[in-house]
Amino acid sequence: MSTSNQATKQEDEAKPLWRYVSKLRKTVIGGNFEIKCNICEVPFNGSYTRVRAHLLNFSGVGVRVCSKVTP
């Protein structure tokens, strides 16, 4: 396994919610991405923090919660 594959696998294990969204492209600012939820198809900008808030129904983080995920 190459070094980049190992790094990707470690990131996936540390941040498992990435598999429920599609990273459309990297934005110019910081570590943010244009992201689309694979469950509800809602696009938004942000990082893993916003992905987590969207999928786990955390309010007050600046992203709409996923309408198709129930608590």
The pLDDT of residue 9: 62
> 6-38 burial string, b = 16+ CB within 10 Å, else e?
eeeeeeeeeeeebeebeeeeeeeeeeebebebe
- Residue 40 to residue 16: CA distance in whole angstroms: 18
- For 15-60, how does the pLDDT look when each residue is reduced to its tens digit (9 = 90+)? 999 999 999 999 988 889 999 999 999 999 999 999 999 999 999 9
pTM: 0.80
- Residue 38 to residue 9: CA distance in whole angstroms: 20
